[in-house]
Amino acid sequence: MPDTGPYEQYLQELQAAAELFADFEADSESGGGRLGAMAAIKATINFLDRTSGNSELRTPLLRLLLALSSAEEGSMDPMLKPVSLGKKRPILEHERAQRGYVAAAMEVVMADGIGRDAAAQWVARHAKGLGVYRKVRSTAWEATRDWRDTANAGNINTDVDTVVYRTAVLTLEQLTKTEAFVVGKGKKIALEIIARARQLGNPKS
């Protein structure tokens, strides 16, 4: 088997983690995919170890991994303790992730040279039926535009939508540098991103 570079090895480990996550995502008794999520975090930590000389970059992920490990062993780490929001319905993590995917899809469409509002309208039209749109008070395309702006300005250390969005943007930047991204193909990639958002499901509100 030929040697693979750090990035290719990272993708292989992420693929294995994604498969593990998919196997247990619907099983709440088994942590709802927690082992797969832990494997993905481990893959990212390994990637940082192989490619970066700055050990501090891995510290937040390592801390999260330890918190998830505690949950796997039956104890609650303070990091995972829900924040009390009173009577206001919180935005669930899978909903934030869906917003991140929607934002990423809009970014990819914009990479095709399409304007901001037009890109938001295109994404909203093709993401119709996605659960995250259920409670929006504005139009779907305006919500899409706002989610992209929010994800772009968010904190990658704490905001799930920003993590999903930034990961997609980083991948897009890598593609453009290697000329793997061809202008005019953005919409096809955006549809694949929207499909990933749909895989998160549309739980009851």
How confident is the prediction along the chain (205 residues), in pLDDT tens digits per residue? 345 688 889 999 999 999 988 887 767 676 778 899 999 999 999 999 888 878 888 899 999 999 999 988 888 888 888 776 565 566 778 888 899 999 999 998 998 889 999 999 999 999 988 888 887 878 999 999 999 999 989 888 888 899 888 888 777 766 665 555 556 677 888 888 888 888 876 544 4
pLDDT on residue 2: 47
Cα 175 to Cα 185: distance, rounded to the nearest angstrom: 12
Residue 1 has a pLDDT of 37
Domain ranges of the chain: 6-80, 93-199
Q: pLDDT at position 103, please?
A: 94
Q: Which of 100, 102, 131, 96 is nearest to 204 (CA)?
A: 131
Quote the pTM value: 0.55
Q: Which two tokens stand for residue 178?
A: 């290697």
Rounded distance, CA 173 to CA 156, Å? 17
Counts of helices then strands in the chain (DSSP H, E): 8, 0
Tokens representing residue 104 in the block: 């990423």
User: Counting Cβ atoms within 10 Å, is residue 61 exposed (0-12), middle (13-18) or buried (19+)?
Assistant: middle
Q: Which of 123, 126, 129, 153 is nearest to 141 (CA)?
A: 123
Return d(Cα 135, Cα 160) in angstroms, integer. 19
**Cβ 40 vs Cβ 21: under 8 Å:** yes
pLDDT at 145: 94
